[in-house]
Amino acid sequence: MSSIADKRVLTEEIAHLEAQLTAARARLNHSPTPSASNSNPALPPNGLPSHPLLLLSDSALPLGSFAFSSGLESYLAHNPYPKTASEAFPHFLTLALTTLATTTLPYLLAAHRSPEQLQELDATLDACTLCPVARRASVAQGKALLTLWERALRTGAGESPAALALGEFSVVLKSIPLHRDDGCEVSGHFAPIWAAVTRAMGITLRESAYTFLFNHAKAVVSAAVRASVMGPYAAQGMLAGTWLRGEIEDVMARNWGMDVEDAAQGVPMCDLWVGRHELLYSRIFNS
C-alpha cells in the first residue's frame, strides 16, 4: 500500500516538475523582453489559457453528452409536487455532482496520474457501475471520446505515456466482441479515458478534474433547459455564478484524496432515479 502511495506521490511530483519545465520553456519562448525576436505582442506575458482546455470544454464536442440528463428527467418525474422544478434543480445539481465526484472522480485522478493503468481502472470502474442506465451513459461518452481522440486529437498531441496507453486501450477494446456482459475486461468508461486524453494533451490534473465536473454540470443544466425547468438566461446565470463554482470546488476538495478502492455512491437515491429512468412513460433523454 505504501509503495503505491509513494509511486503516486512520485508520479505527481514528476507531473508537477514537467509542468514547471513546460511553463519555464513557454516563458522563455514567449519572453516579453525586447531582445527576444520571436515575442508576440498579441499575447499577455503569462500566455493565454490552454488551447486544449478550450477545445475539451466545448459543449459542441461530439461526445453525445446532450443525450443524457444524468437522472434529472427521472428525478423530476419522481418529485412532481413538493417544489417547483426551478427550486428543486439546484438541489438536484448538487446531488448529481456529488454522485459523480464520489463514484467517478477517483478514477479520473488515478488515470491522469498513472495513465499506464488505464485498462485496470476501466475494468474496476465497470465492476463498480451497477446501474445499466449509468453504464450506458458512461460507455457511450467514453467510446465517443476515444474515437475523437483517434480521429482528431491524437496527431496534435504528440507522444506521451498517456497517448500510448490510449492506443493500447483502443486495440484491446476493438479486439473483443461487442455486447458481452461477462468476461469483457475493457469497456471504455468516460472518466478514465477523459483523464488519459487530457493528460496526453497536456492539461493538468486539477484542470482536467474541474473541466470534467463542469462539463457534467453544463450537460445537466442544458438538459434542464430542454426539460423546461429553466430558461436559457437563467441557465447561463447558474453556470456563470459563484454558487456552481463553489459546489464543484467543494466536491473536488472532499474527494481529492480518495483512493479508487474507496470510491462509493454518495447519493444512493441517484442510483434509484437513474435506474428508474427506464420506467418513465415518455422520455426525451437516454438517462
Partner 1 sequence: MPSPFPSTSSIAGKGNIYLTLLPPSTPTFSHLTYTYPLKLLPSTPHKLSPRVTKKPPSPDDALPRPPPPPETVPLLFLLTYGGGLVAGDHIDVSVRLDTGTRLTVTTQGSTKIFKPSASAPPTTRQELSVHVSNHAALWIAPDPVQPFAGSLYAQKQVFNVERGGSVGFVDWVSEGRKARGERWAFAGWRGRNEIWEVYGEKMERRRLVVRDAVVLDGTDISGRMDGMGVFGTVLLRGPLFEALADFFVEEFKALPRIGGRSWTNAGDTAQELTAGEEWRRKRVQREREDGVLWTACNVRGCTTVKFAAKEVEGAKTWLGNMLKEEGGVGREFGDGGLMFVR
Residues engaged in binding partner 1 (CB under 8 A): 74, 77-79, 91, 95, 98, 102, 123-124, 126-132, 135, 181-182, 253-254, 256-257, 262-269, 271-272, 275-276, 279-282
Minimal distance, residue 244 CB to partner 1, in Å:
17
Residue number with CB closer to partner 1 (159 or 182): 182
Distance between CA atoms of residues 170 and 157, nearest Å: 16
Provide the residue type at 15 as one letter.
Answer: A
Q: Which is nearer to partner 1, 73 or 166 (CB)?
A: 73
Separation of alpha carbons 142 and 2, rounded Å: 31
CB 196 within 8 Å of CB 165: yes
CB of 29 to partner 1, least distance (A): 38
CB of 13 to partner 1, least distance (A): 21
- In whole angstroms, how close is the CB of 183 to partner 1 at the nearest point? 9
The answer to whether the beta carbons of residues 107 and 196 sit under 8 Å apart is no
Q: Could you say which DSSP state residue 48 is in?
A: P
For residue 285, the minimal CB distance to partner 1 (Å) is 14
- The residue among 10 and 253 lying less far from partner 1, judged by its C-beta, is 253
CA atoms within 13 A of residue 36's CA, in its CB half-sphere: 13
Q: Which residue has the cell 467514453?
A: 142
Minimum CB distance to partner 1, residue 142 (Å): 16
Q: How far is the CB of 187 from partner 1 (least distance, A)?
A: 10
CB-wise, 168 or 250, nearer to partner 1? 250
The answer to whether 22 touches 5, Cβ cutoff 8 Å, is no
Rounded Cα distance, 214 and 249, in Å: 10
Query: Which residue number, 153 or 252, has a Cβ lying nearer to partner 1?
Result: 252
Report, in Å, the least distance between residue 46 CB and partner 1. Answer: 30
CB 205 within 8 A of CB 112: yes
| Residue closer to partner 1 (CB basis): 26 or 269 | 269
Q: Which is nearer to partner 1, 57 or 99 (CB)?
A: 99
Give Cα 106 to chain centroid, integer Å: 11
How far, in Å, CA of 92 to CA of 268, rounded? 13
- What contacts 24+ positions apart, CB below 8 Å, involve 79-86? 85/227, 85/228, 85/229, 85/230, 86/229, 86/230, 86/234
Q: Which of residues 64 and 266 has its CB atom nearest to partner 1 in the complex? A: 266
- With H, G, I as helix, E, B as strand and everything else as coil, classify residue 159: coil
